[in-house]
Structure 1
Amino acid sequence: MATDAVRAQVAAKWQDSFNRLNRGQPGITGLMALSEAWNIASEFLHPRDLTTTPTQKEPNMSAIKIAFDVLSKSRMLPMILESFLEDMRKQQHLITAEVNTYMSEFENSSDPRVIGRLVHRLVEWYKAWHPAPELGHTILSAYTLSFQTHVFSVLPPSFPRAFKALVTSTLPKLASDEDQEDEEPPDMSVWGSFETLGLVERYESLIASVCYEHIEAYVLEECRGKWSESMLTGLREWMATKVVPWMVYSYARGAKTPDEAKHMLQGVGSRFDFHICKTLCDLRTSEIFDIIIDYPDSLNALNDLRECLQRVDQRAELVSTLRYANKKRLLHPGADTKDILTQYVSIIRCLRIIDPPGVLLFKVADPIRRYLRERSDTIRCIVASLVGDGESGDSLVDENEPIQPLQTAEVEDYADPHWEPEPIDAGPDFRTNKPSDVISTLVSIYDSRDLFVKELQVLLAQRLLATKDGNFEKERRNIEILKVRFGEAALQVCEVMLKDMTDSRRIDQHVQSQKASVIHPTIISRHFWPPLQATNIVMPGQLQEMQESYAKEFTTFKPDKKLSWLPHLGTVHIDVELTDRTVSTQVPPLEAAFIELFLEKDLWTIEDLVAKLGGVDKASALKSLGTWVDLGVLKEEEDFKYRLLETAEAETSGGRAHAPRPAIAEEPLAVVTVQQQQAEQMRVFWKFIEGMLTNLGSLSLDRIQTMLKFAPTYDRNIDQLGAFMEAARREGLVTVQDGMWKLNKK
């Protein structure tokens, strides 16, 4: 049972509540007024059904405001708000039905304009149920939160995709889309609806992704394969004129002045500019191999890439992409050495534009340099380009570049006031003061310049011996240029060779003045020239007589000198007088020697011809005799017998067709190449290796290399020795097991 005190307390509170609700009015007049105010407020706030309810007349806002004042004084606003939100929950099925209808239509048509109509319709529901602003911020905030929460809860999983399509439709059209028929311009008013419904905040990352994808599509469409003009400036202008106005709708919604909008767009604009640079950098990185091939026409693309790399840290991606492209498209046996060198030179020039310190070049060039070192003709191609003797006429050296001495890496001077530290991504082997000119970089592929000097001597010797008109000005100019690059001392032998050629013409003129001769030999100093191809051929008949006669006159002029003939080199203009015809042609001396033997008799066997000349292998003899067979001077019979045809035979339908003969026969290579010289030297060193393995048993490659260094003139590195030992293994001379080499005992 309740005590009197409890009853008194409850009665007091009841009376207090009654007085508050009745507001001190007589009787229940206040309660009646409160009830009326509640009804007016409830009717005003009740959510309407827009699909069935006709348009209502404007409410009496003064009466409504009085009603809410009564409820406020009676502290009933929280209760009326709770009732309103409960009514909203009961009416939310209407919004759900609308959402499902529009989303079904979008699934069938994929038309983003359907989603635009859905968004506008949701805003209509929002405004229809929206309380009057005069009711205060509390009611409005509670309503907005409740409405947005319900809308987000009923949106299907497919809505983000649909919303993305709608946002994309508001962006400026790309060039590829402008040709498509578009009945309506983009509806930019949807951005206000997005703001009302809170969609911008909810899908902020999705909106940003739409802009990112739009930028990527535009960059790929406008810039792919276009390297002759700068694209970055144009992309930024497009961004400023096309994309920034669109960004105002999504990222500067509350701006009241242009300055305020600019301030609000500063951060997001920087992000999108970064994405432009990143996308262009990715594109140019994927095209970098072809851009280098197209240099210098692709200079603008390289400048764009350099600027992008300063903003986007993708240097490692550029290095890995170019290294992979070089390995796949360049560094393989099918590529010509000259093409590899040409591309390497272009890589040097292009990467110096992108990265002047040379870190990228250092990382990209290493596999190319290692591959070129393994090719036997690399030095020959570089040297041929230096003297302008490239087969294609192209030169690895830019004619506009100044001629300067070869550069070598020097020790860094840290006291230099202009010294700068190495870039942060430089490896431990990188040096900032790498050679900067192309020739120095190419020569630095090898540890020693001696290989280049020897190749220069061989190439110059071949060019001098091939000159028929006595004009050596081009070679003299080449030597002067090479002196600047390699120094005076390295080119002394070349000076002697050039002097020998001019002296040879003077000596020949003197000998001819004493006794005319049909032969005009080139007289050289054998100790200052690269080794020439040697032979044991003995020239027959009148050819030998002419050589002896010329040598006698030479000895008279130069008593302290003696001529040593190389009869297999040069060319002979010969007239073969037969019974019914005369055959005139130019042939190598060996072919002239064979045909002269037929003065002795008309029929020879191949064995007798070879024995007569001496020092001629059978293959060379058959090739030489084949020339005269093709000219119709000789006829090949059975058992390798050759008969002189004094009278030409009539050609038959089944007879051998005579091949057309060039005016000048191909001359044999006079000078022994550097590779041949090295191979011959290694045959000498093989005697040392054979002695080591005989006395010491099995040895490692390092041990063999160490012991060979005591041999005179040995200058090979361990890689060259390894290649030689591998060749000896293939010939069955040695065997290897666990890195130990030993003689193969047969």
Structure 2
Amino acid sequence: MLSNILLYNQNVNESSFIEAYLPPGLPSMEEIIEYCEKYPRLLTLRDSPLKDLQDPLVSIHVIHDWYTTLASKYFQSQSTKVFDNWQQDLQASNTDDERFDLLLKTVDRLYSVYDRVHLALSMPWTEASPMTDPELKRLLKTAFDQIVISRIPHSFYLLNNRYASTIYMQHFEWPEDAATTGDPDVVLPALPCTNQYPYQGAQLTWILTQRLDDDLPELVQGPTMTDDQLDVQVAHVMRGCTNMDVDTGGGSDAIGTRSRHSLTLLSSHDSLEESGAMSPPSKFAEYCQKANTVKLAPQWKSLAEEWLHRQINHGPLADDWTEYILASELRRMQLTILPWLSHILTVSPTNTERSPWHEFLRAKIQLEHSLYAIFYESRCNSIFDILMTNYPSACPVFEDLKTIESIIQPPKSLKKSVKESLDARLLYRGASATDIIQQYLGCIRYLKVFDPTCQTLLAIQQQVESYMITYRKDTIEGVVEMIRNRDEYDLNENSDSPYVFSDSEVDDSLAIPMDEISQLERLQRKCHDLLAMLISLCGSIPQFIEGYQTQLAQALLMNVDYDTLPEEETLEILKTHFPENTLFACEIMLKDMTESKRLDTQIHEANNSTSDFLHGIIMSRHYWPEAYRESAKEDFDKLSLLPSVEEYGQEFSNLKGGNRKLEWLPEYGSVTLELEFENRTQEWTVKPPAAIVIRLFEKCPTLSMKQIMTATNFDAETTMESLNFWYKCQVLTLDVEGFYTIVEN
């Protein structure tokens, strides 16, 4: 019949022709299914109702279109019934068990619809029959997917994923403490479904815990490897499996490994034989096999990523920066989620288009990459807190991140995360320069671990230096303070091979513009010397030297016993970083202290009447900072703070010759004084202005700043500095009206 109709309608489109002119004698899909179930051999007889499907005069496309049309109508009617029943039965369900049973029955019904339509394709047709053409199977699959997916209610997707999640939680997930106890006797609560895999037991465990995307050709991506490429990678991995005792030992270089763990994974089929009944995981595998056939499998990737995100961000190791957490989390995923996934990806034994084993391996790599991305993002979100961890405690985090960057390209770089976190939480006016610099040192140390090439560190260096040079006036003071107290800030690293600043760096007039490559090369040499990195924060080497010379002068003038050994050690270290004679003035200052000690001893020995409370520091005028070359002696003389200095000066002239005289600078140096209170006595060594200010309170316990300035003739800056000193020492208090008062009598 079909051939006759075709002969008279050659100019008509075949697909529309079949739709419009189906001959009345052809059977319906229900009749075809019944014939296939009851009389499969009738289909090949000469008087078979479907004999026209083997007519060589009928185009194969016509037959395929006709059968697909019948199947589509059958799919539509049957799927509508199935989902109508679904909605009614779901409303009547009261418990999760009832709902899950309904889910399994619904998928079973849809699978039955799909399977019955395919019965005709599996009948004993002749080899040349259009019904045996693989293209027909593809057309039916496409039609079924389009029709069924368009009819699936949202409640089905939700329950489908909840069922898969419940199976994982109840039968695959480890106890909360399994990843932290390191117990070698921990046994997985569920087994992978291996009946379609070429490896089982300990061999499969070995493959689960190894990377399959290592050493790939440049253009090959792990999740998209072909079956042949995967076979090559598995063979390579299996060469490392020397015994059936799975060794998962290792450190940060062995991703997915941990302490030695003897574990044999059997197939779920083996466990069925032992129990005599279908276990929940096996029942789940059978369900997924049917669900995969009708394209209704749970959304495993989104579910797995949700679990990974929860475990990494909220699990017991979420805030642990001191251990190699990536290996632990990867191992956990490989031995829990992957066995669960092996059930999800099972397919019908009649499905020869897909290889479950290779699909599973690709999914394994895909989930591992998801874990890397989630872990990387998690640590980037906490990167500031990690950087604030005392070095080297958090080094495992940066080694884990470095490992991840060698495998995948994260959506957000660590460099960007560090820059954003520093801008938000460190580089602002409220933070002291010392705090900023100290945290910057932590960044340097950790980023060298993460990126030895210093490309990441270069961006951070430019960011911090730009801020400190442009917006902070206390940078040089903070840098010098930390260098002078280098033991406290652990700045003695790499002291055997210091970075030496070039002439162009020391002399601003010789500065040479540098491109990014040159800056990177310089940083690669400099980053191993933290002291040099701090000096660079000052922007200009001459400004750093000036700042260091000023603080050195302050420290020397406050020195009551001429002990310069700590300052000499610091200066010797600094000299190794600069060309010769760069710090010559500082050397002269230290020599002045040594000479002053010698002369002071001689003066007191030569004249016993010289006050024991007076000791002089004799400075070489042209080598000390300019601020210390002028005197306001008349202001200090009228306050009678200093003991008689004439005899001291006369003895100096006697020792050095009659033409050599001392010019006293009473506002500099230090004064050691003792304050007596009602119940205690305390000694301080202070600057002369501070001593003069506190002496005023001896007669008047309450004074304003203006009154003090009038009495001392000090400027506002000097007066405020002195008052703040005694306020911080809790000797003075300040009221709301601006008056300072002695705390105790």
**TM-score in terms of structure 2 length:** 0.61
Does the CA contact (< 8 Å) of 1:539 and 1:613 recur in 2? Answer: no
Does the CA contact (< 8 Å) of 2:402 and 2:451 recur in 1? Answer: yes
Could you tell me which residue of structure 2 aligns to residue 246 of structure 1?
A: 340
Q: Which amino acid aligns with 1:291?
A: I
Distance 1:72 1:177 in 2: 68
CA deviation vs aligned residue, 1:318-374 (integer Å, no higher than 9, x gap): 333322221121111111111111111111222222222222222233232111113
| 3-state DSSP of counterpart to 2:583 | helix
Q: Which amino acid aligns with 1:45?
A: E
Q: Which amino acid aligns with 1:98?
A: N
| Larger-gyration structure (1/2) | 1
Of 148, 162, 171, 1:165 maps to 162
1:549 aligns with 2:638: no
Q: Which amino acid aligns with 1:355?
A: D
Of 571, 591, 596, 1:504 maps to 596
Distance 2:533 2:167 in 1: 54
State the shift of 1:506 in Å: 1.4
Distance 2:442 2:586 in 1: 30
Could you tell me which residue of structure 2 aligns to residue 566 of structure 1?
A: 665
Q: Which amino acid aligns with 1:221?
A: H
Does the CA contact (< 8 Å) of 2:653 and 2:661 recur in 1? Answer: yes
Distance 2:153 2:708 in 1: 97
Does the CA contact (< 8 Å) of 2:465 and 2:536 recur in 1? Answer: no
Of 491, 497, 520, 1:431 maps to 520
Q: Could you say if the C-alpha distance between residues 440 and 484 of structure 1 is closer, same or farther in structure 2, counting changes exceeding 3 Å?
A: same
State the shift of 1:584 in Å: 11
Q: Show the 5 A alignment for 1:620-699.
A: 659-660=743-744
Q: Could you say if the C-alpha distance between residues 250 and 660 of structure 1 is closer, same or farther in structure 2, counting changes exceeding 3 Å?
A: same
- The unaligned stretches of length 5 or more in structure 2 are 5-24, 55-62, 126-130, 179-277, 506-513, 727-739
Q: Could you say if the C-alpha distance between residues 401 and 122 of structure 1 is closer, same or farther in structure 2, counting changes exceeding 3 Å?
A: farther
CA deviation vs aligned residue, 1:605-627 (integer Å, no higher than 9, x gap): 99xx9999996569989999999
Q: Which amino acid aligns with 1:100?
A: Q
Name the structure, 1 or 2, with higher relative contact order (CA <8 Å, separation 6+). 2
Distance 2:430 2:500 in 1: 31
Of 311, 319, 323, 2:407 maps to 311
State the shift of 1:381 in Å: 1.2
| 3-state DSSP of counterpart to 1:397 | coil
Could you tell me which residue of structure 1 aligns to residue 560 of structure 2?
A: 468
1:209 aligns with 2:307: no
Does the CA contact (< 8 Å) of 2:501 and 2:579 recur in 1? Answer: no
Does the CA contact (< 8 Å) of 1:105 and 1:114 recur in 2? Answer: no
State the shift of 1:253 in Å: 3.5
Does the CA contact (< 8 Å) of 2:588 and 2:623 recur in 1? Answer: yes
* Identical-pair percentage: 22
Could you tell me which residue of structure 2 aligns to residue 286 of structure 1?
A: 381
Distance 2:542 2:421 in 1: 33
Could you tell me which residue of structure 2 aligns to residue 738 of structure 1?
A: none
Q: Could you say if the C-alpha distance between residues 43 and 289 of structure 1 is closer, same or farther in structure 2, counting changes exceeding 3 Å?
A: closer
State the shift of 1:291 in Å: 0.8
Of 4, 28, 34, 1:45 maps to 34
1:114 aligns with 2:76: no
Distance 1:277 1:432 in 2: 31
Distance 1:591 1:353 in 2: 48
Q: Show the 5 A alignment for 1:265-664.
A: 265-294=360-389, 295-314=391-410, 317-373=413-469, 374-388=471-485, 394-395=488-489, 397-399=491-493, 402=496, 404-407=498-501, 431-434=520-523, 435-436=526-527, 437-516=529-608, 517-518=610-611, 519-530=614-625, 531-532=627-628, 534-537=631-634, 539=637, 546-559=644-657, 560-570=659-669, 659-660=743-744
CA deviation vs aligned residue, 1:470-497 (integer Å, no higher than 9, x gap): 3322222222212212344122222211
Distance 2:661 2:438 in 1: 46
Q: Could you say if the C-alpha distance between residues 614 and 397 of structure 1 is closer, same or farther in structure 2, counting changes exceeding 3 Å?
A: closer
State the shift of 1:302 in Å: 0.9
1:135 aligns with 2:123: yes
State the shift of 1:238 in Å: 2.0
Q: Which amino acid aligns with 2:153?
A: P
State the shift of 1:163 in Å: 2.7
| 3-state DSSP of counterpart to 2:406 | helix
Does the CA contact (< 8 Å) of 1:281 and 1:305 recur in 2? Answer: yes
Distance 2:683 2:641 in 1: 16
CA deviation vs aligned residue, 1:509-545 (integer Å, no higher than 9, x gap): 2222221211222222222212326313263699778
Q: Could you say if the C-alpha distance between residues 429 and 202 of structure 1 is closer, same or farther in structure 2, counting changes exceeding 3 Å?
A: farther
Distance 2:554 2:34 in 1: 105
Distance 2:458 2:576 in 1: 26
Could you tell me which residue of structure 2 aligns to residue 728 of structure 1?
A: none
Q: Could you say if the C-alpha distance between residues 504 and 248 of structure 1 is closer, same or farther in structure 2, counting changes exceeding 3 Å?
A: same
Could you tell me which residue of structure 2 aligns to residue 225 of structure 1?
A: 319
Distance 2:516 2:87 in 1: 61
Q: Could you say if the C-alpha distance between residues 613 and 546 of structure 1 is closer, same or farther in structure 2, counting changes exceeding 3 Å?
A: farther
Could you tell me which residue of structure 1 aligns to residue 233 of structure 2?
A: none
Q: Which amino acid aligns with 2:327?
A: T
State the shift of 1:375 in Å: 1.3
Does the CA contact (< 8 Å) of 1:131 and 1:139 recur in 2? Answer: no
Q: Could you say if the C-alpha distance between residues 215 and 105 of structure 1 is closer, same or farther in structure 2, counting changes exceeding 3 Å?
A: farther
Could you tell me which residue of structure 2 aligns to residue 726 of structure 1?
A: none
Distance 2:120 2:690 in 1: 116
Does the CA contact (< 8 Å) of 1:251 and 1:265 recur in 2? Answer: yes
Q: Which amino acid aligns with 1:342?
A: Q
State the shift of 1:236 in Å: 2.5
State the shift of 1:303 in Å: 0.7
Could you tell me which residue of structure 2 aligns to residue 689 of structure 1?
A: none
Does the CA contact (< 8 Å) of 1:443 and 1:449 recur in 2? Answer: yes
Distance 2:661 2:476 in 1: 35
Q: Which amino acid aligns with 2:323?
A: E
Does the CA contact (< 8 Å) of 1:285 and 1:318 recur in 2? Answer: yes
**TM-score in terms of structure 1 length:** 0.61
Q: Which amino acid aligns with 2:157?
A: P
Q: Which amino acid aligns with 1:536?
A: K
Q: Could you say if the C-alpha distance between residues 316 and 279 of structure 1 is closer, same or farther in structure 2, counting changes exceeding 3 Å?
A: closer
Could you tell me which residue of structure 2 aligns to residue 192 of structure 1?
A: 286
Q: Could you say if the C-alpha distance between residues 203 and 472 of structure 1 is closer, same or farther in structure 2, counting changes exceeding 3 Å?
A: same
Could you tell me which residue of structure 2 aligns to residue 98 of structure 1?
A: 85
Distance 1:611 1:197 in 2: 90
Aligned residue pair count: 550
Distance 2:710 2:313 in 1: 75
State the shift of 1:121 in Å: 4.5
Does the CA contact (< 8 Å) of 1:540 and 1:593 recur in 2? Answer: no
